Amino acid sequence: MNTASTTLKSGMTIGRQGYFSGRDALDWIFAAIVLIGGLYAFNRYHASMDGYEKAILLCAIPALIAQGWFWRPLRFLTVAVGAASLLAINIYLQHTDSFGADLAAADKVFWLKYMLSSQSAILWMSVLFFMATLFYWAGFFIKKGSDSTAEIIASKLTWGAVFMALVGTMVRWFESHQIAPDIGHIPVSNLYEVFVLFAWMTALFYLYYEARFKTRALGAYVLLVISAAVSFLLWYTVARDAHEIQPLVPALQSWWMKIHVPANFVGYGTFALAAMVGLAYLLKTASQRSLLIGLIALPLGVVAAILAARFGANLGPDTIAGLDGWARKLGGTTAFFGLCIVLRKPLTARLPELVALDDLMYKAIALGFAFFTIATILGAFWAAEAWGGYWSWDPKETWALIVWLNYAAWLHMRLMKGLRGTVSAWWALGGLLVTTFAFLGVNMFLSGLHSYGTL
């Protein structure tokens, strides 16, 4: 009897492995750990939760188990982050003040000061992401063919950076609750916290696709945008003391924030990933002329316009300094693109086939679009609760709509018109500019109801 295909007269197929019957012992041990941890958190903290927060916690338990079963590396990551976070919390609770844990212990206790306090963990995240970027790029020039030792090290460093980022996030969440009553909140409320969110989430999506497509050659491209985000994070920390935990403004004191912001950043992270894959695709296929125009001439044109405004208008010193800073940044970006064009042969020698790159772009954008759509709908509900209306054409809302329309058009052209190749890659790369302005540019140049996120 062929049990894989034996069919009863009733139409039921027997002998096929079900979803639960295919689980091994480690899957069930992981599920038990998550279930016990979730129920313990619910039992200990349910009095401090409202109904929505209880529902989120209870739904998160099966969701996390399912994710660990779907992609097994998440099992170890989840357990390791939980163990490290609990260790940090336990160390904090050994040093108390009149309210709770004494956060001054972060500057006195060795493990907190150098590893497990939120700021230390996030600094480790930054270092590991920079190191991973260097190793990924070194891999292009060390070995041809299969993955080099440098790229294998880079992949492990990226996992380490994600681990430290998540530990920093969990511990920061605990630290916020130790300051004063009603201060504690999930750390997704300001630019500092969401840049950490963007960094680890984008990296985690990349690591999944790295395993799915069995290549590490894209790591150098994707880690570029993550390293840029980390660089901004470090600058922002120094310039604004952004690592200091602040009370939430009234508009952010809502449970909607807990689901709206993470959903948004699934979109931002996957859009960024798709853009970097698009850059790799273009370096592999586009003509020298189109690369020179698209990657060199256009940024230089923007720099020229900035300098013209700087010298041709009567501007204040702060505005001039800002324009000069942007000219330097864009000039550096242009020089980097020029170097990529010069070195395009070694940089593209071990990239996956074009069909695989195109498929990865599509999967990343489709996933990001779905979550960005959900986030936009959730944001409308949040706006109705906070400001009395679902939509007010605030600059942030307007640019979120522009981002949504951009990727909706990309997906429509692909699914209905068969959009492929360099056009879709240029579009994905250009979409990153639109997304970056919606995420960061609005906060820098425009004001509105979302002004709590200004630089």
Give per-residue pLDDT as tens, 209-242.
999 988 898 999 999 999 999 999 998 888 788 8
Q: What's at 153, amino acid-wise?
A: I
Q: What share of the chain is helix, strand, coil (3-state, %, to 5)?
A: 75, 0, 20
Q: Which residues contact 234 (CB under 8 A, 6 or more apart)?
A: 126
Give the pLDDT band (50/70/90) at residue 1.
very low
Asked if residue 138 has pLDDT above 80, the reply is yes
Supply 340's token pair.
């990529």
| 3-class secondary-structure state, position 243 | coil
| 3-class secondary-structure state, position 380 | helix
- Note the pLDDT tens digit of each residue in 49-102: 778 778 888 889 999 999 999 999 999 999 999 999 999 999 999 988 877 888
Supply 352's token pair.
């996956």
Give the pLDDT band (50/70/90) at residue 312.
low
pLDDT of residue 219: 94
Q: 220 phi and psi, to 5 degrees?
A: -60, -35
User: What is the secondary structure of 13-51 as a DSSP string?
Assistant: B-SPPPTTTT--HHHHHHHHHHHHHHHHHHHHHGGG--H
**Residue pair 217/158 in contact by the 8 Å Cβ criterion:** no
Residue with the bigger pLDDT between 330 and 309: it is 330
d(CA 300, CA 333): 10
CA 313 centroid distance within chain: 38
Q: For 218-222, 248-252, 437-441, which range has the lowest pLDDT when averaged over its residues?
A: 248-252
**Residue pair 332/231 in contact by the 8 Å Cβ criterion:** no
d(CA 17, CA 21): 6
pLDDT of residue 192: 92
Give the pLDDT band (50/70/90) at residue 440.
confident
